[in-house]
Structure 1
Amino acid sequence: MIELPSDIWYGDKPLLFEPPESWEVSVFRMAGDSAREVEKEEIFRVLREPIGQKALSKLAEERGEAVVVFDDMTRPTKLKGIAKAVIEELKRGGVSDENITFICANGAHGTYDRDDFAKKLGEEIVESYPVFNHNPLGNLDYLGETSAGTPVEINSEVMSYSLKIGLGCILPHPQFGYSGGAKIVLPGIAGMRSIAYNHGVIGGWSAAMAVRELHPTCQMAYGRVNEENVMRRDAEEAARMAKFDFIVNSLVNTRRENTHVFAGDIVEAQRKGVEEARKHYATQIGFEFDVVISNAYSKASEAAIATWPSLCLKQGGTLVVVCNSKTGQISHYIHGRWGMRRKGGFLYLPPPDTLKRAGKVIFVSKYQEKQPWLEVYDEVVRVKTLEEMVEEVGKEEKKVAVFPDATIQKPF
């Protein structure tokens, strides 16, 4: 029996899958999948003994106020325990409840509601503190340009606080190499001009990839690069311009448990976290499979990330993407599609070329939607259950690979 995590933020009930006996199945798990959830004491330790920064309570004592910027629902991070510990340390430093505000770093992802904030931060925080979405189209302070020319426009509410704290996770990322650190600032709480320049002009990510290459440090960036990535360096410069003080980043397993926590300077703490992340998310892979079953869980609303295991297929094999995302695919104002005839996003991204290795794509989801996000094919076979998928693939002898959460596993 194979267990695939499923229904992120909506019960997290796993799918149980019994493959046909005739299939030769290999399950590829990431190295850190069995890592245990971090203890509460360890969270407090990293807040009190941070990397490259004063203790959070000491910063709180000096500033007397704080804004807490947290990652959005496209990221798997359960922040309730971490956010409560941060509040406790702020209060330990003398900051009152009235001087603490939370801002969601939704970047170009659209907005979220109270239910989302409660799932991410816990009911107690939503009841006790103001929680706002970031608006990338307004309410921005212009801080100047980075050395690469990015116009730095940052959420003005965040800029009004003397102590700025970020909460999020470090995961393999297709553009930055790894997330975490300064990415909470750019794109997290940046304006559209800033995001478009960083992602498009500097990184090169857009439909124009068909006629020109990405920046070399962005090519196959997923889990391969970090500090040498030009988009990250640009974001870190923007974070310094915004005087962003403190970051708390975690690593997660495929149960979305925080297994490691790194805190402190927004650059140095992320660097330390990536040292562990390189090992934690690493996944040994094989090649020339007839069928690859790739589960999208941690980033289910960005299921295209789960298509990278197609590189493990033999030419013309079958890629199965499993994605139970009740909210569907994310509305991305920069990279997303906004219609059938007018694609819309300023830096619209077509499907990855790696998909062309597959001769057939099967999309498994109990939440199907008429959305052409795998446009490399005229038609994607859509089924609602794994049992239907088996009938579509066939029960004859096959060499099959399974990736339990391809949205956070990395093949390097």
Structure 2
Amino acid sequence: MTERTYSFAYGRGEKSFTIDDDLVISEVRTRPFPVIPKDQIREKVLETIRNPIGTKPLAEIVKPGDTVAFICNDPTRVANSFDFMPVFVEELNRLGIPDENMRIVFALGTHRAMTEEEMAAQVGADVAKRLKTYNSISTIDEDFIEFGTTSRGTPVRINKHLCDVDHIIMTGTIVHHYFSGYGGGRKAILPGCAAMETVRVNHSFMLDPKAALGVTVGNPCYEDQMEGVEIFAKGRSLFLFNAILNAKHEFVGMFAGDWREAHREACKFVDQVYGAVIPQEADLVVASCGGYPKDINVYQMQKTMDNAMCAVREGGVVILFADCEEGSGSAVLEETFRRLKTPEAIRAELEGNFRIGANKAFAVTRPLSKARFILVTSLDPELAHDMLFTAAVKTPEEAFALAREYVGEKPTVILMPEGSLTVPRVE
């Protein structure tokens, strides 16, 4: 027996465990693409926006004195905006756009409002001081303007701070998304800067089996988001900048240009970076979300559950390292589980009355229908039990002892230290 010790990211630190290496059939990691060195980021951002995909460079789009709104990620999505936002501001200053003609709208979707400190941490203190910043809070009705309805019935209501400017620059990063196919691109606007009812109707299409990870064609959520942004974009100037990061939050790719074409190209690259072939589905998957903020709460942790589900056999076990320092992340999520108690009841209610928060309860139950999930977490064990997890324990040792009760002493094991990013598949 060859024992080996591994350390997986957990919250703001790490957790270590020892395992018989002979049992490990695969360690799933992002592919080692060359990193853009820190001292070359500025140059790479400029090169990317000056040679865009499917549209003219910014220098030919913006005119001196124009107004610009940037859309930036909130803290639940790592984007390293603080690296590229100063470059954008400097470039637009050079093109004749003063600081007072620029603003930042943070794409919260349905997440909580950001503090001033969080805004400064996201985009850099200097940029936050120089540009006006706004939270797009989906529940403040008067902050949204309606532009029509998609063919699937989604009202297109977009934050007013994007509606009175000459140009919108959509920024962010791209990873696979468990029901919208991929993040990035149109998601900066819908759901990022959309009203709660817009998000609610759009997300109701996640109940469709075609609303799946890495799927765009025929995916009703993705197609509805694209149509919604098309309706809003009529007669407007939209420019996209999306980056791809590795598990260490380093840049490995940058794409800019037309919000549709540049995103399509970027998604092909995302498949190369995050896609991983495994020999077979394993009895036991040991996964980490990748630490903070990927495991800040159950709401965010669920994305890793979907990826781990791709690697575990039917009836197997997933040990998931997820601190969840902010608990579940949603009172509605907790209330839905406590009241309805089974996956079938949750789905049935959503089919009749789709609610944000309750939809995440459905998302959590999908992986649970395939395998047992044992959490190594600071989450309240009673809450974890209400949410149908097999157990919530404090240490890896407890988790492995419990897992052995279901998969025996010699299970096949797949390790997923970068679980929020990597998408395993058997070829």
Contact kept, 8 Å, 1:295 with 1:404, in 2: the verdict is: yes
Q: What is the distance in 2 between the residues matched to 1:116 and 1:73?
A: 7
Percent identity for Structure 1 against Structure 2: 24
Instruction: From 229, 234, 248, give the equivalent of 1:239.
Output: 229
Counterpart AA for 1:106: L
Counterpart AA for 1:246: F
Superposed displacement of residue 196, structure 1? 1.6
Superposed displacement of residue 265, structure 1? 1.1
Aligned twin of 2:396? 386
Contact kept, 8 Å, 1:71 with 1:167, in 2: the verdict is: yes
Counterpart AA for 1:226: T
Q: 1:116 to 1:374 in 2, by over 3 A?
A: farther
Q: What is the distance in 1 between the residues matched to 2:315 and 2:121?
A: 41
Aligned twin of 2:294? 299
Contact kept, 8 Å, 2:65 with 2:101, in 1: the verdict is: no
Q: 1:145 to 1:403 in 2, by over 3 A?
A: same
Q: Secondary structure of the equivalent of 2:55?
A: coil
Contact kept, 8 Å, 2:310 with 2:423, in 1: the verdict is: no
- Deviating 4+ runs (over 6 angstroms): 342-345
Q: In angstroms, what is the RMSD of aligned CA positions?
A: 2.7
Aligned twin of 1:173? 177
Q: What is the distance in 1 between the residues matched to 2:325 and 2:67?
A: 37
Q: 1:381 to 1:43 in 2, by over 3 A?
A: same
Superposed displacement of residue 127, structure 1? 2.5
Aligned twin of 2:350? none
Q: 1:115 to 1:364 in 2, by over 3 A?
A: farther
Contact kept, 8 Å, 2:311 with 2:424, in 1: the verdict is: no
Q: 1:251 to 1:227 in 2, by over 3 A?
A: farther
1:194 equivalent in alignment to 2:198: yes
Contact kept, 8 Å, 2:385 with 2:391, in 1: the verdict is: no
Contact kept, 8 Å, 2:381 with 2:392, in 1: the verdict is: no
1:369 equivalent in alignment to 2:356: no
Counterpart AA for 1:362: I
Q: 1:240 to 1:353 in 2, by over 3 A?
A: closer
Superposed displacement of residue 239, structure 1? 2.0
Of 115-124 and 18-27, more deviation after overlay is shown by: 18-27
Counterpart AA for 1:330: G
Superposed displacement of residue 393, structure 1? 4.0
Counterpart AA for 2:376: V
Superposed displacement of residue 31, structure 1? 4.3
Q: Secondary structure of the equivalent of 1:110?
A: coil
Q: Secondary structure of the equivalent of 2:275?
A: coil
1:48 equivalent in alignment to 2:50: yes
Q: Per-residue displacement from partner, 1:59-113 (whole Å, max 9, x unpaired)?
A: 3326622111112222122111111111122112111111111111011122221
Counterpart AA for 2:264: R
Contact kept, 8 Å, 1:65 with 1:99, in 2: the verdict is: yes
Aligned pairs (5 A) from 1:9-408: 10=12, 13=13, 15=14, 17-21=16-20, 24-37=23-36, 39-40=40-41, 41-61=43-63, 64-137=66-139, 138=141, 139-200=143-204, 203=205, 205=206, 209=207, 214=208, 216-218=209-211, 221-223=212-214, 225-242=215-232, 243=236, 245-297=238-290, 299-300=294-295, 301=297, 302-308=300-306, 309-331=308-330, 336-338=333-335, 340-341=338-339, 346-347=355-356, 348-349=358-359, 350=362, 351-358=364-371, 360-365=372-377, 367-369=378-380, 372=383, 377=388, 380-393=390-403, 396-408=409-421
Q: Secondary structure of the equivalent of 1:382?
A: strand
Q: 1:2 to 1:28 in 2, by over 3 A?
A: same
Q: Per-residue displacement from partner, 1:10-48 (whole Å, max 9, x unpaired)?
A: 5xx4x2634233762244324424541363222111111
Contact kept, 8 Å, 1:56 with 1:89, in 2: the verdict is: no
Superposed displacement of residue 148, structure 1? 3.1
Q: What is the distance in 1 between the residues matched to 2:64 and 2:56?
A: 11
Superposed displacement of residue 388, structure 1? 3.8
Superposed displacement of residue 177, structure 1? 0.7
Aligned twin of 1:5? 9
Of 263-272 and 279-288, more deviation after overlay is shown by: 279-288
TM-score, with structure 2 as normaliser = 0.82
Counterpart AA for 1:184: A
Q: Secondary structure of the equivalent of 1:108?
A: coil
Q: What is the distance in 2 between the residues matched to 1:145 and 1:316?
A: 42
Counterpart AA for 1:327: E
Counterpart AA for 1:407: S
Q: What is the distance in 1 between the residues matched to 2:152 and 2:240?
A: 24
Counterpart AA for 2:271: R
Structure 2: where are the runs of 5+ without partners?
341-345, 347-352
Contact kept, 8 Å, 1:311 with 1:357, in 2: the verdict is: no
Contact kept, 8 Å, 2:380 with 2:392, in 1: the verdict is: no
Q: 1:157 to 1:313 in 2, by over 3 A?
A: closer
Q: 1:244 to 1:187 in 2, by over 3 A?
A: farther
Q: Secondary structure of the equivalent of 1:266?
A: coil
Q: Secondary structure of the equivalent of 1:5?
A: strand
Q: 1:278 to 1:53 in 2, by over 3 A?
A: same
Q: 1:175 to 1:315 in 2, by over 3 A?
A: closer
TM-score, with structure 1 as normaliser = 0.85
Structure 1: where are the runs of 5+ without partners?
none
Higher helix content, 1 or 2: 2
Q: What is the distance in 2 between the residues matched to 1:375 and 1:290?
A: 25
**May I ask how many residue pairs the two structures share in their alignment?**
388
